[in-house]
């Protein structure tokens, strides 16, 4: 009888259904962190909300010095209509989409192959090359604009899509991030593939890449966002209106009546809308990329 009584509590605690995971306690430090995060989120959302409200104002209300979240004459979509009438938004969006996609694909291929070679292959000058890659991360992109422009002129690529794509496919930071990730993949998996007769390229394609899907997705998203937002280089490399990207094309919409605040905010929202949708669909991969790959500091 006593044995049976003692056995019941042990059996109940051993049941996984009875066990409960301890919840996170709201310590003072955690409360402070959450409060600071909420404050930063609000500080980020206020300018975005103001830009959205301004885009739906009339030009008279947008130019008013008074701060009105609700315009006196009501909300209107005239600024968006004007932007679509004066510019070729569908064409510019398509140009940005395929150039950004091409830059992303080419960058992934080059960066992944270079990172794998630096991670797994021993060759003369490897340390020097890695030092050059790390040092090039800190070089500001505007410094390279003049040499790249002369190079595109020499190759007769100015006013072509390749002039936008090719100078943006080299990302030393992405090579460094991928190399660090490949270093963490166990070499025993590759040694087992070698025993089965697999070549180096087959190991890379069928062993390394499948294990690297999270980091490849994070790198692809960051490269795509950077290519989509890039304004300076496409603005310099192209004059042909048929290949303008969306950020550059929106800046060509001018008015004879000075600064049109509502139209400017409408243009900014149209340029940011695809990236907002991209974040909504891939926010988990983006957050994981920021948290685990160190891309936030590059």
SS (H, E, C) the chain: CHHHHHHHHHHHHHCCCCCCCCCCCCCHHHHHHHHHHHHHHHHHHHHHHHHHHHHCCCHHHHCCCCCCCCCCCCCCCHHHHHHHHHCCHHHHHHHHHHHHHHHHHHHHHHHHHHHHHHHHCCCCCHHHHHHHHHHHHCCCHHHHHHHHHHHHHHCCCCCCHHHHHHHHCCCHHHHHHHHHHHHCCCHHHHHHHHHCCCCHHHHHHHHHHHHCHHHHHHHHHHHHHHHHHCCHHHHHHCCCHHHCCHHHHHHCCCCCCCCCHHHHHHHHHHHHHHHHHHHHHHHHHHHHHHHHHCHHHC
Decide if pLDDT at 112 tops 80: yes
Q: Are 62 and 262 in contact (CB under 8 A)?
A: yes
Decide if pLDDT at 2 tops 50: no
Q: Show the tokens assigned to 176.
A: 């460094």
Domain spans of the chain, in order of start: 87-252
Query: Quick one: fold of 87-252?
Result: MetI-like fold (1.10.3720)
Decide if pLDDT at 95 tops 50: yes
Q: Cα–Cα distance between 86 and 12 in angstroms, integer? A: 73
Most confident of 4-13, 27-36, 276-285: 27-36
207: CB partners within 8 A, 6+ apart: 189, 190, 193, 198
pLDDT value of residue 4: 45
165: CB partners within 8 A, 6+ apart: 99, 102, 103, 106
pLDDT value of residue 111: 92
pTM of the model: 0.76
pLDDT value of residue 8: 47
Average pLDDT score, the chain:
80
- Please report, for residues 127, 151, 163, 212, 243, the alpha-carbon distance to residue 137 in angstroms, rounded to integers and kept in the order given: 16, 21, 22, 22, 29
Decide if pLDDT at 98 tops 80: yes
| Range in 25-29, 143-147, 232-236, 239-243 with the lowest mean pLDDT | 25-29
Q: Which residue has the higher pLDDT, 93 or 23?
A: 93
Q: Show the tokens assigned to 45.
A: 């959302």
pLDDT value of residue 289: 60
Decide if pLDDT at 196 tops 60: yes
59: CB partners within 8 A, 6+ apart: 78, 79, 257, 260, 261, 262, 263
pLDDT value of residue 53: 87
Decide if pLDDT at 235 tops 80: yes
Q: How many CB atoms lie within 10 A of CB 292?
A: 13
């Amino acid at each position: 009888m006593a044995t049976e009584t003692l056995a019941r509590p042990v059996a109940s605690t051993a049941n996984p259904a009875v066990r409960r995971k301890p919840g996170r306690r709201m310590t003072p430090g955690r409360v402070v962190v959450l409060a600071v995060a909420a404050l930063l989120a609000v500080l980020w959302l206020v300018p975005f909300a103001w830009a959205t409200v301004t885009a739906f104002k009339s030009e008279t209300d947008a130019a008013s010095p008074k701060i009105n979240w609700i315009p006196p004459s009501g909300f209107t979509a005239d600024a968006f209509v004007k932007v679509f009438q004066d510019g070729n938004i569908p064409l510019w969006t398509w140009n940005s989409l395929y150039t950004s996609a091409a830059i992303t694909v080419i960058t992934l291929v080059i960066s992944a192959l270079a990172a794998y070679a630096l991670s797994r292959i021993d060759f003369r000058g490897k340390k020097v090359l890695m030092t050059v890659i790390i040092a090039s991360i800190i070089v500001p992109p505007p410094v390279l604009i003049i040499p790249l422009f002369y190079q595109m002129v020499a190759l007769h690529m100015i006013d072509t899509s390749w002039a936008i794509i090719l100078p943006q496919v080299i990302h030393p930071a992405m090579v460094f991030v991928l190399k660090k990730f490949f270093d963490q993949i166990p070499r025993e998996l590759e040694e087992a593939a070698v025993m089965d007769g697999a070549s180096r390229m087959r190991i890379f394609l069928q062993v390394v890449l499948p294990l690297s899907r999270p980091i490849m997705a994070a790198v692809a998203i960051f490269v795509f966002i950077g290519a989509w937002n890039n304004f300076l280089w496409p603005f310099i490399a192209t004059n042909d209106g048929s290949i303008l990207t969306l950020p550059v094309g929106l800046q060509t919409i001018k008015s004879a009546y000075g600064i049109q605040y509502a139209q400017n905010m409408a243009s900014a929202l149209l340029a940011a809308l695809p990236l907002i949708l991209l974040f909504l669909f891939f926010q988990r991969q983006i957050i994981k990329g920021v948290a685990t790959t160190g891309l936030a500091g590059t």
